[in-house]
Amino acid sequence: MKKLLLLLVICVYSCNDKQIFLHTEGQKIVDANGENVLLRGLGLGGWMVQEGYMIQTGDFAGPQHVIKKKITELIGEENTEAFYEAYRANGITKRDIDSLAAWGFNSVRLPMHYNLYTPAIEDEKNGEITWIEKGFKMTDDLLEWCAANKMYLILDLHAVPGGQGKDANISDYDETKPSIWESEANQKKMIAFWKKLAERYKDSPWIGGYDIINEPNWNFTGTNKNGCNETSNAPLRELMVKVTNAIREVDKKHIIFIEGNCWGNNYEGILPVWDDNMVLSFHKYWNYNTPESIQKMLDYRETYNIPIWLGESGENSNVWFKDAISLVESNNIGWAFWPMKKIENIAGVTSVTKNPEFEIIKTYWRDGGEKPTKEFATDALMKLAENYKMEHLTIKPDVIDAMFRQVQSDAPKAYKTQSIPGIIYASDYDMGSNTIAYSDSDFVNYRVDTGIHTSWNKGNVMRNDGVDITVSTDNDTNGYDVFEINDGEWLHFTLNNIEEGIYDVSIRYSNETDIGQLHMENETGRLSEIIKLPSTGSISTYNTVTFSGINLPKGQNTFKLVFDTGGFQLNYLDFQKNPE
């Protein structure tokens, strides 16, 4: 009897050991207690796999191997390796993961480049598969930081041996070498790599799962080069089955995430799935945030009784972010947005400052001319690597607000603490969606109809809303103007700690023609009559118009600045108490 009880106990812990890890339960992802888990994650794009558009070299050097070659030609192999060491050391640190946790993220997606873990097949001897400790150490450290914050780490093979798609930048694909689909050696290496990872992390409860191949985009039998009209996808399914089997030889506990062809979205011929702890991942960019936009994935979930996950999304305006996240969360779908760090961008949670020296290098790479010296280029690149540290980044509170608070609340929120008497900059309008914190005619990018990448903030600086912001040429400024102002648009402001009284308001602006008109109002009505803004002669010449009689009570106040007639640039409003 005792022996039977012992066997039963062993069975409970061994047969159901996946239950202490994040795992699937029907159409849900659940934790150790069987509670539904809605993954809210961020992809660490650019850390292990450089993509040219993230460092502003995409128009002449997209894939990482091309970028690295250009760097090596400038500063030599030794300095290049030193640059990449600094770039990776600063790219993601414990402070970064602590910040993500504080902002509300509960998971991280790690885009891995295989060559940090194992050499390319042409660098192996006699068909052997050897290992590099660098990538495993980076992953170990990241897992430790995630675990300390109770965040799940999802391992994503972003650049597979040989590359998995014609979109070369994503996977560092080199078309002069055999892809994963054209090389048995590359496939064997990929399978061995996943088995090695699974063996290493099989007992880690903060590993959220294995995203085994990112965004395959390859035409096996179809006519679309990115596999969007494939109907069988047989090589992709076969490879994913082999990888799954290799993982399950050593790890039966963790979720396996799979992605279809056509950047993760074409599942024709791939389903049904072949594992009972599997999740379907899809990627979503630039399309409408309607139920129809995700209906096919919802149908897969229902038909095959399997969870689905928005494994990658982003690169749009705050309105699109809020709407996309609201859509998927209302359907119990978790998400991972993209990416953590890019140079001089508005659509990420952070922005990396571009040092002027790096711009000189970029200009040389793109246009030719006088070659920068080795010393200059090395110094410029090391300064750029230094700028990737969290303490040097520009945090984007409006993006974070759109991903979390705005999904739950339609109320506007102050972009920063603003008190008067004092200056209120036009670009410091409240956080919130279009028609809530501002009204602008262009506030989101849908490429489904035209395929043209349009901008919501036409100046592409400071903030990620529909409001158009440009760098100001005025001397007395925070550095930015609101511009491209159209008739009827408006901005909403929240002011705190106001001293009660009647205020004079000075408007700092510029315009070429005598057409600018605006007024102030709040929820009770107009605070001012229409104020005319006479021509300043040019958009770079500024003037100030002052009007009186704005009566404000003590404490917090809100108001709208309504543009009755546009065509001007607005710098700030200066509120000063009327001395009379």
Domain ranges of the chain: 2-398, 410-577
Q: How confident is the model at residue 12 (pLDDT cuts 50, 70, 90)?
A: very low
* Positive/negative CA dihedral, 143, 118, 43, 394: positive
Q: Could you tell me what percent of the chain has a pLDDT over 90?
A: 90
What pLDDT is stored for residue 499 in this prediction? 85
Asked if 496 and 556 touch (Cβ cutoff 8 Å), the reply is: yes
User: Could you report the per-residue pLDDT of 75-85, keeping only the tens digit for each?
Assistant: 999 999 999 99
Q: In whole angstroms, give the CA distance from residue 66 to residue 169.
A: 10
Alpha carbons within 13 angstroms on the beta-carbon side of residue 1 total 0
Q: In whole angstroms, give the CA distance from residue 352 to residue 344.
A: 6
Q: What is the mean pLDDT of residues 412-425?
A: 94
Q: In whole angstroms, give the CA distance from residue 300 to residue 272.
A: 9
Query: What's the mean per-residue pLDDT of the chain?
Result: 94
Q: Does residue 1 have a pLDDT over 70?
A: no
Q: How confident is the model at residue 15 (pLDDT cuts 50, 70, 90)?
A: very low
Q: Could you tell me what percent of the chain has a pLDDT over 70?
A: 97
Phi, psi of 554 (to 5 degrees): -70, 150
What pLDDT is stored for residue 11 in this prediction? 40
What pLDDT is stored for residue 18 in this prediction? 55
Q: How confident is the model at residue 14 (pLDDT cuts 50, 70, 90)?
A: very low
What pLDDT is stored for residue 13 in this prediction? 38
Q: At a CB cut-off of 8 Å and minimum separation 6, what does 235 contact?
A: 181, 220
The SS3 call for residue 312 is strand
What pLDDT is stored for residue 539 in this prediction? 94
How buried is residue 111: exposed, middle or buried, by Cβ count under 10 Å (0-12/13-18/19+)? buried
User: Could you report the per-residue pLDDT of 428-454, keeping only the tens digit for each?
Assistant: 999 999 999 999 999 999 988 777 778
User: Could you report the per-residue pLDDT of 194-207, keeping only the tens digit for each?
Assistant: 999 999 999 999 99
Q: Does residue 3 have a pLDDT over 60?
A: no
DSSP string, 502-569: EEEEEEEEEESSTTEEEEEEETTEESS--EEE---SSTT--EEEEEEEEEE-SEEEEEEEEEEE--EE
Q: Does residue 223 have a pLDDT over 60?
A: yes
What pLDDT is stored for residue 92 in this prediction? 98
Find tokens 């404490």 and name the residue. 555
Q: What is the mean pLDDT of residues 123-152?
A: 97
User: Could you report the per-residue pLDDT of 361-411, keeping only the tens digit for each?
Assistant: 999 999 999 999 999 999 999 999 999 999 999 999 999 999 999 999 999
Strand partners, 335: 40, 310
Q: In whole angstroms, give the CA distance from residue 421 to residue 557.
A: 13
The SS3 call for residue 449 is coil
Q: In whole angstroms, give the CA distance from residue 64 to residue 45.
A: 12
481 conformational bin, left if phi > 0, alpha if psi -120 to 50, beta if neither: beta
Largest Cα separation within the chain, whole Å, is 97
The CA radius of gyration of the chain, in Å to the nearest whole number, is 27
Q: What is the mean pLDDT of residues 484-504?
A: 93
Q: Does residue 224 have a pLDDT over 70?
A: yes
CATH architecture, domain defined by 410-577: Sandwich (2.60)
Residues in the chain: 580
Q: What is the mean pLDDT of residues 311-323?
A: 97
Closest CA to 160 of 143, 139, 177, 138: 177
Is CATH 3.40.50.1000 the classification given to domain 2-398? no
The token pair that represents 398 in the structure block: 């409006």
What pLDDT is stored for residue 17 in this prediction? 56
